[in-house]
Amino acid sequence: MSGKSEFKADFSINASKKMLYPYIFTASGLAQWMADDVTINEDKIFDFMWEGESHKARMVAHRLNSYVRFEFLPVDDEDEDDPPYIELRLEMNELTQSVFLLVSDYSDINDNEESLDLWTSLVDTLKEIVGG
């Protein structure tokens, strides 16, 4: 039985998908709001630094100005079969022209309230950066 759970939330951001995309797609963009630092090596492995700990991930899917999915490299046998991931999706409500960041975070954090607090804080930082 996996100890992981998926957290999903969406956040309204007052900015265009085109403007937001570099912040979810590039290491330098992600480093500004999502982690303490993010680098990418020659093998296209992203290294997310949180509180001094390295978490390596591979971008397994993306579509320009739309979404990106990072799958974290396994650290144990359970992760081999059931890897943690983060998916960041940009969606527009055609009616209101509002842009939303849809977050799917599949990880060991089983506390939805803790995840919501974490992502709300991260997205607030992103909103400050983009002025949204």
Query: pLDDT band for position 2 (50/70/90)?
Result: low
Q: What is the percent of the chain with per-residue pLDDT over 90, rounded to a whole number?
A: 87
Closest of 38, 69, 43 to residue 55, by C-alpha: 38
- What are the pLDDT digits (tens) for 45-94? 999 999 999 999 999 999 999 999 999 999 888 889 899 999 999 999 98
In the predicted model, is pLDDT for residue 125 greater than 70?
yes
User: CA-to-CA distance for 82 and 87, rounded, in angstroms?
Assistant: 15
What is the distance between the alpha carbons of residues 89 and 10, in angstroms, rounded to a whole number? 9
Residues shown for the chain: 132
Give percent of the chain above pLDDT 70.
98
Distance of alpha carbon 97 from alpha carbon 102, whole angstroms: 15
Over residues 17-45, mean pLDDT: 97
Residue ranges per structural domain of the chain: 8-130
Rounded mean pLDDT of 108-129?
95
The Cα–Cα gap between 4 and 130 comes to: 32
Residue 32: which of 12, 48, 53, 43 has the closest Cα? Answer: 48
pLDDT of 84 = 96
Q: What is the pLDDT of residue 110?
A: 87
Residue 107 DSSP code: E
Q: Are strands 37-40 and 45-50 parallel, antiparallel or unpaired?
A: antiparallel
Region 8-130: CATH code: 3.30.530.20
Is 60 exceeded by the pLDDT of residue 1? no
Q: One-letter amino acid identity for 113? A: E
Greatest alpha-carbon span in the chain:
46
- For residues 107-112, give the mean pLDDT: 90
pTM for this prediction: 0.94
Look over the chain and give the mean of its residue pLDDT values, rounded to a whole number.
95
